[in-house]
Structure 1
């Protein structure tokens, strides 16, 4: 393995280990937080959908995720799965 391949692989592993989708950040979520506060904590969501002032955004993937439901701009409820 060349040095450049090793460096690239190391960077990928470090980025995966630095995921913001974890139990520590999940514990910081609170009802009433704004979307801006949640995105400051978790980064940009993987996907969002909604209608009529209610929306849902998800961070992560099928195995490990945090899902946040908003009423307007404020957290209504949230859930998580596979968090470490």
Structure 2
């Protein structure tokens, strides 16, 4: 195996280990958490939308994601799919 292949493999393993969209982090989300607390846990969301003090943010992609709904700046509901 070449040095380039070893470096690429190491990078992929490191990247997978840094993925914050997982079951462990999902289980730490609780109703009443602030938006800042969720973002500290999961990082910046992939997408957010909302109006009139209600918003929804999603982390991940269509196969593996965490979705959090806020009223004001507090978590009211959350869901996940495809988490490992």
Same fold, judged at TM 0.5 (above): yes
Q: Number of aligned pairs?
A: 84
5+ residue gaps, structure 1? none
- 1:26-56 deviation per Cα after TM superposition (whole angstroms, max 9, x unaligned): 1100000001100111111111011111100
Runs of 4+ more than 4 Å apart: none
TM-score under structure 2 normalisation? 0.89
5+ residue gaps, structure 2? none
Q: How does 1:1-84 map to 2 (within 5 A)?
A: 3-4=3-4, 6-84=6-84
TM-score under structure 1 normalisation? 0.89
The separation in 2 between residues aligned to 1:46 and 1:39, in whole angstroms, is 11
What root-mean-square deviation, in Å, do the aligned CA atoms of Structure 1 and Structure 2 show? 1.5
